[in-house]
Structure 1
């Protein structure tokens, strides 16, 4: 088996570095770098990526050992058929650890070809750290590091307007671009940097809000030897991912022209406002997950795929999506229907085992954010109750009893929420339990018993579930 590098793989093309990427993890390599590699193949983007390790320990040494090469394996369902695809990603020109050489890191800012900064440093990564007191030494936080890099670029090019950069963060927080800009400006004030620099940041750099969507399980350690044998290379950076990908970028037309992903046929959408797309993802994908979990779990199912392929729960979640969630959204119906069909196929992916109990983490707050807006909007628009979404709420209340058919449910939520449910379930009366849960404004930010008919329907569904449990215990089901 051959060692993987540019000589053994016969990769001779070199592109100028147009992208600095903070983060070398599976998601960025299986999503962003995969996209850039296709851009190089199908458009005149002609740019490479230099990776910056955002924390002291990482895998840049391994990346450099393989000359930035690795394979992305896509496995999933598309158009109702199982699909597999392998791509050797070649767009990474190298990686550095700024903790080893701060000056080498700052010199990256002197590159006149540089256009983009991409990052994924976890949801906590875009945060101000007061402990980063100056840029004389390497700041610990990602925004601190980026502020130092941008200041070096500003001084090196004497504040040239055309040397500003486009920041495309992928951290999973709302308005991530705006948050990154505000944090950089806060560091500029913290370090006493000039007002001319802050004006340059505001006027000549672009901070894009983004939404990313692809499941990337990562390194396939369970069968890596078989995969390496099939590839013919000893690739120790293989990334597995699903075929579906979506990247919505809130940016001006100039960014779309500089990053021509749609031209390459990729699901990268530039939009003046990504809020409708965030709502679509949160309500259809995440909301369907959350609505499905308690219903499927109480039916004895344990994975998303099993639940979607089960006749009863599969019908339940499809009807919830198409009849009760989609009517609450404001994008064209064709777009919503396609996205929903893609979501169902993703749920059925045989290459990913997605445990229901793992999705059940913090389900009360998830229901509030992901499902309740659909419930309330549906009622407002249709003047009727969404039965399936409220059946899910009833199942969730019973799920949080923590016991089903004599077996303990491993609940995972905050202590105060679990304590409230434990106290509520001391009652035997489903109506009293439902009222206690639905009226808890700390859970829902509103008293759901005030919504006409909602308490009665949830109570009815809850009683039906309890009757089903009793029949199952007696062997009458």
Structure 2
């Protein structure tokens, strides 16, 4: 079979949408699966349905290891084309959609193609910069120097690029960028802008450049929401056979997608998401939507999976097929989490309904043990705000969220500490608990403690929670009661009693 290319598609009689030629109007730092299944999908849809007419230049922000897989080369060999599968449940129906994405023009490596990358700043058509350089990508590293080609950190690379743009077009209004940051950190766009301004100061760049950064560029914080499962290794051969071409950059993700962009309403004039019918919201405050995602979707995961694992389940989808476990999760969401949130109730319940559909996705085997990683910090960030908000509002404990805390403690009961983690047991079989080493050592040291002693020491550990949870009226006694019930009857029976 031939490799994917425009010629291959023409020869095969492909009749789907393709955009072979268009101006390069988007620069994207990050060439990985997520951005290609999310941002680039949206751009491709805008090209087809709203006349956006834009190509994306991908940038590989790190050097390719010697002898390693050179994704940039593969992308370029395929002329930027790749096949994207979005799969799952939508409105109760099983969906498996396929689309050849044609919005990418080329991929540059910021190390081997440094000059070509910087030359993109001279392109008068370029208007948008998108990025997802992982949570560690938006960091200020003072060792980075202006003379390096390139410096190590992404914000330093971006500062160099912006300065080149300023030198070329600084006297022209409207030649700055709309920058859409997709990293999974709070206020990602604002944090990126802070780093850029620090480098401008460190490198002694002129005040006119600093003014240009702040006046001609818009750094947007965004919330991204789509599970992307990436290259389907187990299915790749059969998919290529069915397509009639070899695609080395196949990508897969769930059908659900939602993007919240914090920025001025005038962005709608330049980014026609609405005209293309896309689930993208431009708002002056993205935080309520992030809170909704973290508390409902992530909170549902964290409050349910540890108890479900101890009850004998292994993947999320099977949990949704169990009336007791799914019922426990839904009771936590609808009765205890949603009442603590600020968005309109119908928006919250619609999102909650989508969460259940997403968890039922037949194409994703989402392992409970993988979700259990770092559950201490996850419970604090995802569940504790809802728990405390419910207590403050109702002057009583939320039963399911309280039980979820007991499930967390029970899951962290281990008898052996190894380099891999703390080893626990489920029905005679071992599993590995993975978290910060000090947390695992704490639980190992408490392996022989009574439920009452353990609950007290966990709840009062301010290093874990940032506060003493024994001060929440009735919480300690309730957790001990649940732990005793788990020992006697198991987590499944505890869930069943709560329904």
Q: What TM-score do you get using the length of structure 2 for normalisation?
A: 0.92
2:474 — aligned with what? 453
Alpha-carbon distance in structure 2 between the residues aligned to 1:287 and 1:459: 22
- How many Å apart are 1:202 and its aligned residue? 0.8
2:422 — aligned with what? none
Matches within 5 A, 1:32-431: 32-57=39-64, 58-135=70-147, 137-402=149-414, 403-428=425-450, 430-431=451-452
The one of 15, 21, 24 aligned to 1:17:
24
Distance 1:471 1:237, change over 3 A: closer
Residues 135 and 148 of structure 1 are in contact (CA less than 8 Å); yes or no, is this contact kept in structure 2? no
SS at match of 2:235: helix
Residues 265 and 283 of structure 2 are in contact (CA less than 8 Å); yes or no, is this contact kept in structure 1? no
SS at match of 1:234: coil
- How many Å apart are 1:377 and its aligned residue? 0.2
1:433 — aligned with what? 454
Partner deviation per Cα, 1:284-314 (whole Å, 9 max, x = no partner): 1111111111110111111111112112111
Partner deviation per Cα, 1:346-405 (whole Å, 9 max, x = no partner): 111111111111111111111011001000001111222110011111111111112344
Alpha-carbon distance in structure 2 between the residues aligned to 1:22 and 1:336: 32
5+ unaligned residues in a row in structure 2: which ranges? 11-17, 65-69, 415-424, 494-499
Alpha-carbon distance in structure 2 between the residues aligned to 1:318 and 1:469: 20
Q: How many correspondences in the alignment?
A: 471
2:7 — aligned with what? 7
* Alignment partner of 1:466 is 2:478: no
SS at match of 2:9: coil
Alpha-carbon distance in structure 2 between the residues aligned to 1:266 and 1:471: 40
Alpha-carbon distance in structure 1 between the residues aligned to 2:431 and 2:237: 37
Distance 1:101 1:368, change over 3 A: closer
Alpha-carbon distance in structure 2 between the residues aligned to 1:346 and 1:294: 19
SS at match of 2:99: strand
Residues 154 and 160 of structure 1 are in contact (CA less than 8 Å); yes or no, is this contact kept in structure 2? no
- How many Å apart are 1:2 and its aligned residue? 3.3
- How many Å apart are 1:260 and its aligned residue? 1.3
Residues 401 and 425 of structure 1 are in contact (CA less than 8 Å); yes or no, is this contact kept in structure 2? yes
Alpha-carbon distance in structure 1 between the residues aligned to 2:468 and 2:313: 32
SS at match of 1:409: strand
Q: Which stretch of structure 1 is more off in the superposition, 11-20 or 338-347?
A: 11-20
Residues 424 and 437 of structure 1 are in contact (CA less than 8 Å); yes or no, is this contact kept in structure 2? no
RMSD between aligned alpha carbons? 1.6
Residues 405 and 469 of structure 1 are in contact (CA less than 8 Å); yes or no, is this contact kept in structure 2? no
SS at match of 2:290: helix
Alpha-carbon distance in structure 2 between the residues aligned to 1:175 and 1:142: 16
Q: Which stretch of structure 1 is more off in the superposition, 154-163 or 297-306?
A: 154-163
Alpha-carbon distance in structure 2 between the residues aligned to 1:190 and 1:414: 34
5+ unaligned residues in a row in structure 1: which ranges? 473-477
- How many Å apart are 1:194 and its aligned residue? 0.4
Distance 1:204 1:421, change over 3 A: same
Residues 159 and 197 of structure 1 are in contact (CA less than 8 Å); yes or no, is this contact kept in structure 2? no
- How many Å apart are 1:197 and its aligned residue? 0.2
Alpha-carbon distance in structure 2 between the residues aligned to 1:470 and 1:139: 51
Distance 1:12 1:40, change over 3 A: closer
- How many Å apart are 1:51 and its aligned residue? 1.0
Q: What TM-score do you get using the length of structure 1 for normalisation?
A: 0.96
SS at match of 2:222: strand
- How many Å apart are 1:422 and its aligned residue? 2.5
Alpha-carbon distance in structure 2 between the residues aligned to 1:334 and 1:181: 35
Distance 1:407 1:2, change over 3 A: closer
SS at match of 2:266: helix
SS at match of 2:433: coil
- How many Å apart are 1:471 and its aligned residue? 12
- How many Å apart are 1:12 and its aligned residue? 6.0
Q: Which stretch of structure 1 is more off in the superposition, 359-368 or 403-412?
A: 403-412
SS at match of 2:57: strand
Distance 1:376 1:136, change over 3 A: closer
Alpha-carbon distance in structure 1 between the residues aligned to 2:157 and 2:228: 27
Residues 120 and 169 of structure 1 are in contact (CA less than 8 Å); yes or no, is this contact kept in structure 2? yes
SS at match of 2:146: coil
* Alignment partner of 1:31 is 2:53: no
- How many Å apart are 1:129 and its aligned residue? 2.1
Partner deviation per Cα, 1:110-156 (whole Å, 9 max, x = no partner): 11111100011111111122232123532222111111111111111
SS at match of 2:150: coil
1:475 — aligned with what? none
